[in-house]
Amino acid sequence: MSRGLYAYAITRDRQLDLAGPWLIGHRGLALVVAEVELDRFTGLELDEPTEDSPLAVLARYHDAVVRAVFQREPVLPLRFGTVLDGVDAAVRLLSARHEEASAWLDRVEGRREWGVRVRAPEREPINLDEMSGTAYLTLRRQRLNATDAVRSGAAAVHRALEQRAAESTCRDLSGDLLLEAAYLVRTEDEEDFHAEVRRLTGELGLRVEITGPWPPYSFTKVEFADA
């Protein structure tokens, strides 16, 4: 077996021109698929993930197909590397998971994912040469208080954004990150959501990085076992 049916996403069964991938429809749902050489997916390494490495090219393409669907219809992105035996298997899957998939599609319809990263403001380095011991200790205390303030500030940002999102999820923090979260936002609430990000982080002097809009990758973490 050297060829298989790569599955990108589940969506509603509509006319979509995807310039390559096509839809296998069943009772109103569809699986977005393309025939692929399985060799392309073996031995992928992430050791040097540059833009032109095989994994990066395949992942970018996977994302591009999911996005092309996402521009027109609600979408459930499938995990990278999902390959089916053939059309029969695709139909069996859609048939067995019809209710669940339909419910998940309703849940993400009209909503887009936004990533938000918040960091503390940058600070001037302390110049020890021109500083007395007392002045240093005072500055140190000020900075400790400031660290507490930005932490609670980041928590306040999350609470405010959570209110403006349909769903949210926080990731583990690393390095100097104070908040790393994804929000599933109704399109009609996006303007308000972004205004709130700018307003709050501006007021609190926090550095913020926003990514998106994304298809609802972080909100479709669901496992479909086939029948």
Partner 1 sequence: MDNRSSSLADTLERVLDKGVVIVGDIAVCVVDIELLTLRVRLFVASAQTAREMGMDWWTDDPFFAPKAVERAAANELAAENAELRERLAVLERALEEKRP
Q: Which residues bind partner 1 (CB under 8 A)?
A: 4, 7, 10, 18-19, 38, 41-42, 44, 46, 49-51, 55-56, 59-65, 67-68, 76-85, 89-90, 92-93, 104, 115, 122-123, 125-126, 128, 136, 139-140, 143, 174-177, 211, 214, 217-218, 220-227
Q: Quote the least distance from Cβ 160 to partner 1, whole Å.
A: 23
Of the pair 44, 160, the CB lying nearest partner 1 is at: 44
Token match 């209110």: residue? Answer: 163
Token match 């959501």: residue? Answer: 193
Q: Which two tokens stand for residue 116?
A: 């938000």
Rounded to the nearest angstrom, the gap between the alpha carbon of residue 62 and the centroid of all alpha carbons in its chain is 14
Q: Quote the least distance from Cβ 227 to partner 1, whole Å.
A: 8
Q: Which two tokens stand for residue 7?
A: 């599955």
CB 45 within 8 A of CB 19: no
Q: Quote the least distance from Cβ 124 to partner 1, whole Å.
A: 8
Of the pair 188, 225, the CB lying nearest partner 1 is at: 225
Of the pair 136, 192, the CB lying nearest partner 1 is at: 136
Q: Quote the least distance from Cβ 185 to partner 1, whole Å.
A: 16
Q: Quote the least distance from Cβ 93 to partner 1, whole Å.
A: 6
Nearest to 9 by CA among 18, 123, 176, 132: 18
Rounded Cα distance, 129 and 219, in Å: 52
Sign of CA dihedral 222, 25, 187, 209: positive
Rounded Cα distance, 46 and 183, in Å: 27
Of the pair 39, 188, the CB lying nearest partner 1 is at: 39
Q: Which two tokens stand for residue 216?
A: 């609802």
Of the pair 42, 132, the CB lying nearest partner 1 is at: 42
